Amino acid sequence: MSWRRYCATGEDTNVAGEEFALVLRPGDVILLSGQLGAGKTTFAQGVARGLGVVERVTSPTFTMVREHECLNDRGISKLHHADVYRVGSLDEVVDLALGELVEESAVALVEWGEIASSVFGLEVMNVDFSIDENEGRALEVTGALTNGRNSELDAWTEQ
Protein backbone atom coordinates (compact mmCIF):
# COMPACT_ATOMS: atom_id res chain seq x y z
CA MET A 1 0.00 0.00 0.00
CA SER A 2 1.07 3.56 -0.53
CA TRP A 3 -0.42 6.97 0.22
CA ARG A 4 0.23 10.09 -1.78
CA ARG A 5 -0.20 13.76 -1.16
CA TYR A 6 0.70 16.61 -3.47
CA CYS A 7 2.17 19.80 -2.04
CA ALA A 8 2.14 22.83 -4.34
CA THR A 9 4.04 25.13 -1.96
CA GLY A 10 6.49 24.98 0.92
CA GLU A 11 3.66 25.82 3.30
CA ASP A 12 1.72 22.82 1.95
CA THR A 13 4.71 20.59 2.71
CA ASN A 14 4.85 22.00 6.21
CA VAL A 15 1.14 21.35 6.78
CA ALA A 16 1.51 17.84 5.34
CA GLY A 17 4.13 17.25 8.05
CA GLU A 18 1.95 18.74 10.76
CA GLU A 19 -0.95 16.48 9.79
CA PHE A 20 1.37 13.48 9.44
CA ALA A 21 2.01 13.81 13.17
CA LEU A 22 -1.51 12.41 13.63
CA VAL A 23 -0.35 9.14 12.04
CA LEU A 24 2.59 8.76 14.40
CA ARG A 25 2.91 6.62 17.52
CA PRO A 26 5.63 6.35 20.15
CA GLY A 27 8.60 4.33 18.92
CA ASP A 28 8.14 5.14 15.23
CA VAL A 29 11.03 5.57 12.82
CA ILE A 30 10.36 7.54 9.65
CA LEU A 31 12.87 7.65 6.81
CA LEU A 32 12.61 10.77 4.63
CA SER A 33 14.11 10.50 1.18
CA GLY A 34 14.34 12.67 -1.89
CA GLN A 35 16.86 14.84 -3.72
CA LEU A 36 18.57 17.92 -2.25
CA GLY A 37 15.96 20.55 -1.51
CA ALA A 38 13.02 18.18 -1.95
CA GLY A 39 11.33 19.36 1.26
CA LYS A 40 12.44 16.88 3.93
CA THR A 41 13.36 19.50 6.53
CA THR A 42 10.22 21.53 5.75
CA PHE A 43 8.13 18.41 6.38
CA ALA A 44 10.05 17.62 9.59
CA GLN A 45 9.36 21.15 10.86
CA GLY A 46 5.66 20.52 10.29
CA VAL A 47 5.82 17.18 12.11
CA ALA A 48 7.54 18.96 15.00
CA ARG A 49 4.73 21.50 15.17
CA GLY A 50 2.17 18.70 15.10
CA LEU A 51 3.94 16.93 17.98
CA GLY A 52 4.08 20.08 20.07
CA VAL A 53 7.76 20.93 19.76
CA VAL A 54 8.11 24.47 21.04
CA GLU A 55 11.66 25.33 20.03
CA ARG A 56 12.75 26.15 16.51
CA VAL A 57 13.59 23.13 14.37
CA THR A 58 16.42 23.68 11.92
CA SER A 59 18.20 21.41 9.48
CA PRO A 60 20.45 18.92 11.28
CA THR A 61 22.73 18.67 8.22
CA PHE A 62 25.95 19.44 10.11
CA THR A 63 25.10 18.16 13.56
CA MET A 64 23.55 14.99 12.12
CA VAL A 65 21.14 14.52 15.00
CA ARG A 66 19.01 16.90 17.06
CA GLU A 67 16.63 16.09 19.87
CA HIS A 68 13.48 18.08 20.68
CA GLU A 69 11.13 17.76 23.62
CA CYS A 70 7.48 17.37 22.60
CA LEU A 71 4.34 18.46 24.42
CA ASN A 72 1.34 16.38 23.34
CA ASP A 73 -1.15 13.98 24.85
CA ARG A 74 -0.19 11.05 22.65
CA GLY A 75 2.72 9.60 24.61
CA ILE A 76 5.39 10.99 22.28
CA SER A 77 7.78 12.89 24.50
CA LYS A 78 10.72 13.36 22.17
CA LEU A 79 11.47 13.93 18.50
CA HIS A 80 14.83 12.84 17.14
CA HIS A 81 15.61 14.62 13.87
CA ALA A 82 18.61 13.27 11.99
CA ASP A 83 20.22 13.96 8.63
CA VAL A 84 22.64 11.32 7.44
CA TYR A 85 23.49 12.96 4.10
CA ARG A 86 27.11 13.46 5.15
CA VAL A 87 27.55 10.04 6.60
CA GLY A 88 30.35 8.61 4.53
CA SER A 89 30.53 5.01 5.62
CA LEU A 90 28.73 2.33 7.53
CA ASP A 91 31.31 2.81 10.32
CA GLU A 92 30.09 6.35 10.78
CA VAL A 93 26.53 5.12 10.95
CA VAL A 94 27.62 2.81 13.74
CA ASP A 95 29.48 5.67 15.48
CA LEU A 96 26.40 7.83 15.33
CA ALA A 97 24.53 5.09 17.15
CA LEU A 98 21.50 5.70 14.97
CA GLY A 99 19.93 2.60 16.43
CA GLU A 100 19.60 4.52 19.68
CA LEU A 101 17.21 6.88 17.97
CA VAL A 102 14.66 4.12 18.30
CA GLU A 103 13.11 4.78 21.68
CA GLU A 104 9.86 3.71 23.23
CA SER A 105 8.49 7.17 23.84
CA ALA A 106 10.16 8.96 20.95
CA VAL A 107 9.69 9.39 17.22
CA ALA A 108 12.71 9.49 14.89
CA LEU A 109 12.72 11.32 11.56
CA VAL A 110 15.79 10.60 9.43
CA GLU A 111 16.57 12.71 6.37
CA TRP A 112 18.35 10.70 3.64
CA GLY A 113 17.24 7.76 5.73
CA GLU A 114 17.50 5.35 2.82
CA ILE A 115 21.30 5.56 3.24
CA ALA A 116 21.04 4.07 6.71
CA SER A 117 17.96 1.91 6.30
CA SER A 118 19.83 -1.30 7.20
CA VAL A 119 20.31 0.09 10.72
CA PHE A 120 16.57 0.40 11.25
CA GLY A 121 15.28 -2.79 9.69
CA LEU A 122 11.86 -3.10 8.09
CA GLU A 123 9.66 -1.67 10.82
CA VAL A 124 9.77 1.84 9.41
CA MET A 125 7.70 4.20 7.33
CA ASN A 126 9.22 5.82 4.29
CA VAL A 127 8.20 9.24 3.04
CA ASP A 128 9.59 9.84 -0.45
CA PHE A 129 9.63 13.36 -1.89
CA SER A 130 9.85 14.12 -5.58
CA ILE A 131 9.88 17.48 -7.33
CA ASP A 132 7.64 17.82 -10.34
CA GLU A 133 7.90 20.14 -13.36
CA ASN A 134 5.93 22.85 -11.53
CA GLU A 135 8.31 22.75 -8.55
CA GLY A 136 5.58 21.14 -6.46
CA ARG A 137 6.40 18.12 -4.31
CA ALA A 138 4.76 14.73 -4.55
CA LEU A 139 4.93 12.83 -1.25
CA GLU A 140 4.52 9.08 -1.06
CA VAL A 141 4.26 7.09 2.17
CA THR A 142 5.09 3.37 2.21
CA GLY A 143 6.56 0.78 4.56
CA ALA A 144 5.69 -1.98 6.98
CA LEU A 145 4.94 0.50 9.75
CA THR A 146 1.88 1.69 7.79
CA ASN A 147 0.16 -1.62 8.64
CA GLY A 148 -2.91 -1.02 10.74
CA ARG A 149 -2.91 2.73 10.13
CA ASN A 150 -5.04 2.87 7.00
CA SER A 151 -7.64 5.20 8.43
CA GLU A 152 -5.10 7.72 9.71
CA LEU A 153 -3.20 7.60 6.43
CA ASP A 154 -6.38 7.84 4.35
CA ALA A 155 -7.30 10.98 6.30
CA TRP A 156 -3.81 12.39 5.72
CA THR A 157 -4.06 11.73 1.99
CA GLU A 158 -7.52 13.22 1.58
CA GLN A 159 -6.77 16.63 3.10
81 binds ligand ATP (CB under 6 A): no
Q: How far is the CB of 73 from ligand ATP (least distance, A)?
A: 28
- Please list every residue from 122 through 151 that binds ligand ATP, using CB under 6 A: 135-137
Amino acid at 75: G
Name the CA dihedral angle for 12, 125, 39, 68, rounded to a multiple of 10 degrees: 90
40 binds Mg ion (CB under 5 A): yes
Q: Give phi and psi for 47, each to the nearest 5.
A: -60, -45
Q: How far is the CB of 59 from Mg ion (least distance, A)?
A: 4
1, 2, 25, 37: which one contacts ligand ATP (CB under 6 A)? 37
Within 13 Å, how many C-alpha atoms sit on residue 13's CB side? 24
Cβ atoms 142, 157 nearer than 8 A: no
* CA–centroid distance for 104 within its chain: 17
Part in contact with Mg ion (CB under 5 A); list of ranges 22-30, 57-65, 115-123, 130-138: 57-65
9 binds ligand ATP (CB under 6 A): yes
Q: How far is the CB of 20 from ligand ATP (least distance, A)?
A: 14
